[in-house]
A = this chain, B = another copy of it.
Amino acid sequence: MRDPSSNRALVQERARVYLRENGSKVTGQREKILEAIFSSHDHFCAEDLHAKLKAQGHRISIATIYRLINELVKGHFLRPLDDGSERHLYDPNYPTRPGHYHILCKDCGKMIEFEDPCLDLRERALVEDRGFTADELQVRVDANCKRHHASGDCPNKEPKGNAMDSCAMEKKIS
């Protein structure tokens, strides 16, 4: 429904333009990394990307990955994400869904995305009242899965529809 594959190509193209406009070069390695990032909606860390690329037969140094990630964050193509773990996670979904928030499932560790324009408006108004101009909003709700607690299964089948996958899935790209 949302974010058809053409959007992905658009985001990648914009990222290329952004890099070039900022004096950076778009190398073969960077193309591969962009592809790995934006071909999925999954949140990831540097090591995930490294593993994914290695699995695809590309030998790209982890240093190269870190360097590109940092540039993409500066250009707002990636948003840093905090799931309470040590690793730096990144969310590739902000270019196409800027106003989304996260539920962190305490049962399976997965992050489920959701949106709510009212929440967005109220937060901005509150911040405005206190003398600030809001830029990025970040919401994380740590929660337990009701069905998981009732029946033991973990069926994140998106009652309202979102891009994320189920609790049962592994958390790493591997």
- Interface code A120-163, partner B: CB below 8 Å = 1, 0 otherwise? 00111011011111111111111111110100000010111000
Interchain CB contact under 8 A, A141 and B138:
yes
Interchain CB contact under 8 A, B114 and A131:
no
Interchain CB contact under 8 A, A103 and B116:
no
Interchain CB contact under 8 A, A132 and B103:
yes
Q: Is A80 among interface residues, defined by CB-CB distance under 8 A?
A: yes
| Whole-angstrom CA separation of A112 from B132 in the bound complex | 10
Chain B residues, Cβ within 8 Å of A84 = 80
* Smallest beta-carbon distance A144→chain B, Å: 5
Kindly report which residue of chain B lies nearest to residue A155, judged by CB atoms: B131
Chain B residues, Cβ within 8 Å of A142 = 134-138
Interchain CB contact under 8 A, A144 and B132:
yes
User: Which of B103, B131, B136 makes the CB contact (< 8 A) with A127?
Assistant: B103
Kindly report which residue of chain B lies nearest to residue A149, judged by CB atoms: B133
Interchain CB contact under 8 A, A138 and B135:
no
Q: Is A118 among interface residues, defined by CB-CB distance under 8 A?
A: yes
A selection of 24 A-B contacts at a CB cut-off of 8 Å is A82-B82, A103-B127, A106-B135, A112-B130, A114-B126, A114-B130, A119-B122, A119-B123, A119-B126, A122-B122, A127-B143, A129-B159, A130-B158, A130-B159, A131-B147, A131-B159, A132-B143, A132-B145, A133-B144, A133-B149, A134-B143, A135-B143, A137-B139, A139-B139
